[in-house]
A = this chain, B = another copy of it.
Amino acid sequence: MEFSIGVDLGGTNLRAAAVNREGKILEKIAVDTNFEGGRDAVIGDIVNGVNALRTKLSGNRLAGVGIGVPGFIRLKEGFITNSNNLPYLENFPVRDAIEKLLGTPIILENDANAAALGEKWMGAGMHVDDLVLLTLGTGVGGGIIVDGRVLHGMDGMAGELGHMTVDPFGPPCGCGNLGCLEKLASATAVESGAMLMSLSAGPLTSREVYEMAMDGNDKARALFHQMGRALGIALATLINTFNFPLYLLSGGMLPAWNLFFPPLEEQVKLRSFTYRNTRTRIEQATLGNQAGLIGAAYLPFQAMELK
């Protein structure tokens, strides 16, 4: 049997899964990673994780390893750039280094792109060739799938949809822009909104704001309304741009769907002629936090098909 290994390098841990050609997870591990340990420690953790799975599946053929990483990937060079969590991996030939240690082909991919590819392969996007995924977490990430493949652009930086301008005079963002989608529609946006609106004496988590909203607190509800509104404005532009059949939302904010979806859809209906006149669907992703893992594992299989 042939299998592939997907690695998801998250903010606090490393997960890896062995996946077969049919997309079934055969074995899975999670390792708390010492991200403060620096470059060699993280690379060591990746190598150990992959080797542990390889041992469990000895006797089978490993097609390759895909690694989803937060940050931009320079695909040709196998570099990571602008990764907030892993600064010491930046501008270092990380792919080649891991490839040498493991003796198997490595493919790097941005984590949101990997999640979009995972949803296309085995999740909510199984039956389409083109989709856009927005990941709603601490920030907002994006992945664009065209013809079954990740849209990379010239430097692997395509799909930075969290930095679409939603309100040109909106709150400033670390990227230099004003009114970015992720300043209005992320967990962070909900949390700073709660602070500004004095929802409680101290800071609240987005989960706590969610619970207040579910209990009927109007201010808390207004924050999810704003989130939906911002997402709807951005999605209308994406729908007018791509005319794809499917737009997926995923991430830690997804449980608040019932709070943010009605204003989202209201905005999309208002702002997109294409939405009103086609069978465009806006749906919840279905693979949860396994999307990135499964998408990363798909990368080696896809590379073989495209050869």
Enumerate chain A interface residues (CB-CB to B < 8 A): 82, 130, 142, 144, 146, 151-161, 163-168, 175-178, 233, 236-238, 240-245, 270-274, 276-279
Task: Please name all residues of chain B whose beta carbon is closer than 8 Å to the beta carbon of A165 when the two chains form the complex.
Answer: 166, 233, 236-237, 271
| A241–B176 touching, CB < 8 Å | no
Given A152-B243, A178-B271, 12 more pairs with CB closer than 8 A: A130-B154, A154-B244, A155-B278, A157-B243, A158-B243, A158-B244, A161-B240, A164-B240, A165-B271, A176-B271, A176-B273, A178-B270
CB < 8 Å neighbour of A245 from B154, B176, B274, B279: B154
| B157–A237 touching, CB < 8 Å | no
Kindly state the separation between the CA atoms of A161 and B239 in the bound complex, as whole angstroms: 10
| A176–B240 touching, CB < 8 Å | no
| A273–B163 touching, CB < 8 Å | yes
| B243–A273 touching, CB < 8 Å | no
Kindly state the separation between the CA atoms of A294 and B273 in the bound complex, as whole angstroms: 29
Can you spell out 20 A-B residue pairs with CB atoms less than 8 angstroms apart? A82-B277, A144-B241, A152-B243, A153-B243, A154-B245, A154-B278, A155-B243, A157-B243, A159-B241, A160-B240, A160-B243, A160-B273, A160-B274, A163-B272, A164-B237, A164-B240, A165-B271, A176-B271, A176-B273, A177-B236
| B158–A242 touching, CB < 8 Å | yes
Task: Please name all residues of chain B whose beta carbon is closer than 8 Å to the beta carbon of A238 when the two chains form the complex.
Answer: 241
CB < 8 Å neighbour of A241 from B82, B160, B166, B271: B160
CB < 8 Å neighbour of A175 from B142, B233, B244, B273: B273
A contact patch SS: loop
Q: Which of A82, A177, A237, A238 counts the most chain B CB atoms within 10 A?
A: A237
Kindly state the separation between the CA atoms of A151 and B155 in the bound complex, as whole angstroms: 20
**Closest residue of B by beta carbon distance from A128:** B154
A46 smallest CB distance to B (angstroms) = 26
Kindly state the separation between the CA atoms of A157 and B237 in the bound complex, as whole angstroms: 13
| A274–B240 touching, CB < 8 Å | no
Task: Please name all residues of chain B whose beta carbon is closer than 8 Å to the beta carbon of A130 when the two chains form the complex.
Answer: 153-154
| A167–B168 touching, CB < 8 Å | yes
